[in-house]
Amino acid sequence: MIARDRNWLLIFAVCAALAVIYPLFADGYQLTVIRDALIFGLFAASLDFFWGRTGILCFGHAAFFGIGGYIMALITLNDAIPFGSLLGIMGAVAGAAFVAAIIGYFLFFGGIRGSYFTIVTLAMGVICQQAAVSWSSVTGGDSGLIGIPPIAFDVGGMHVDLSQDLPSYIFVTAIVAVVVLALWSISRGRWGTVLTAIQDNEVRAAALGHNAPLRLLVTFVLSAAIAGLAGALYVCMAGLVAPDLSGLLLSTEVIVWVAVGGRGTLLGPVLGAIAIQRAQQTISSFNPSLWPLLLGCVFVIIVFVLPDGILSIYARLKSLFKGRRQAR
């Protein structure tokens, strides 16, 4: 366990170092591409925190991403609201967490688990997307809302303006690093240990005195809050929000990012999201219709060849070299 933690921290440190030096070799466009990919990586980490620790798949996680995005857009587009960026972020996090608390309460305390939970959350995503389309007077309907201002606020007498590429990249990178490290710390602590026990045998964990539904609910709410944060960041960087950001397609894509990166690793889904986003942009520039086919093939290959995701490549290579040294 200690060696596993050491490996995770080593990979995290390498990724953080690469993120720090990346602006030295990238232009403004490349910074924005990686910045947006990091936001999707944060979204993937939020799903992995719940799916990877509890074994329960939420198939409508984009609903929380979209809720956060729409709340952020509605607050920042209203000039009468002071401190729009900060209130927008807090509102996005709180709104996504509130919806997750309501839905999760009835599901977890109602004993809904496994495939039934997946189906219900799938319907939740569809309902959220349809609500965004139908409630056009507030959400803008199919066209969504445009003209969302970039994040800007004052802190400690200093004005922070994220309208430029480099400041927004640094801000998003710092947010992703802090959140992933915090989620990893929670996962490695007592809370994560109890979640693992619940995943293995919920009845036995309850017999030992653990309130399994409450712990699952709190984990689900925290996961949704981070997804809402990711949605708020994305709409401010992109300048728009649309119903697709809460729909089935994005919910499916985030599952692929987690599976490709490595479920239960937190850092792997971030890397998976970045890799797939970069690959999608490169391949789509040649042939947009080719990307869905290649994505499906890559997903199938990863599942068969690397069922633990691309982050397991390091552990496999380390085991391989260790085995060769012992053979000598």
Q: DSSP for 272-312?
A: HHHHHHHHHHHHHHH-GGGHHHHHHHHHHHHHHH-TT-TTH
With a threshold of 0.75, does the pTM exceed it? yes
pLDDT band at 326 (very low <50, low <70, confident <90, very high): low
Rounded to whole angstroms, the Cα distance separating 35 from 224 reads 21
Q: Are 247 and 126 in contact (CB under 8 A)?
A: yes
Alpha-carbon gap, residue 145 to 127, rounded angstroms: 19
Task: Identify the pLDDT of residue 233.
Answer: 96
| Widest CA span in the chain | 73
As a whole number of angstroms, the distance between CA 144 and CA 73 comes to: 10
The mean pLDDT value for 213-242 works out to 96
Over residues 2-24, mean pLDDT: 88
> Nearest Cα to 84, choosing from 150, 29, 147, 133?
150
Count of H-run helices and E-run strands, the chain: 14, 4
What does the alpha-carbon distance between residue 100 and residue 92 come to, in Å, rounded to a whole number?
12
Q: What is the mean pLDDT of residues 162-167?
A: 90
Split at pLDDT 50, 70, 90, the class of 155 is confident
| pLDDT band (50, 70, 90) for residue 327 | low
The per-residue pLDDT for range 113-145, each reduced to its tens digit, is 888 999 999 999 999 999 999 999 999 999 899
Task: Yes or no: say if 284 and 299 are a contact pair by the CB < 8 Å rule.
Answer: no
Burial (Cβ within 10 Å: 0-12, 13-18, ≥19) of residue 46: buried
Task: Encode pLDDT of 63-108 as tens digits.
Answer: 999 999 999 999 999 988 888 899 999 999 999 999 999 999 999 9
Contact 202, 215 (CB under 8 A): no
Between 68 and 303, the higher pLDDT residue: 68
Kindly indicate the confidence band of residue 302, based on its pLDDT and cuts at 50, 70 and 90: confident
The whole-angstrom separation of Cα 216 and Cα 105 is 9
| pLDDT, position 1 | 57
pLDDT, residue 50, reads: 95
77 secondary structure, DSSP code:
T
pLDDT mean over 52-65? 94
pLDDT grade for 149, boundaries at 50, 70 and 90: very high
Kindly indicate the confidence band of residue 208, based on its pLDDT and cuts at 50, 70 and 90: confident
pLDDT at 328: 65
What mean pLDDT do residues 266-289 have?
Answer: 85
Pairing state of beta strands 158-161 and 145-146? unpaired
CB atoms within 10 A of CB 219: 24
> Residue 98's pLDDT is what?
97
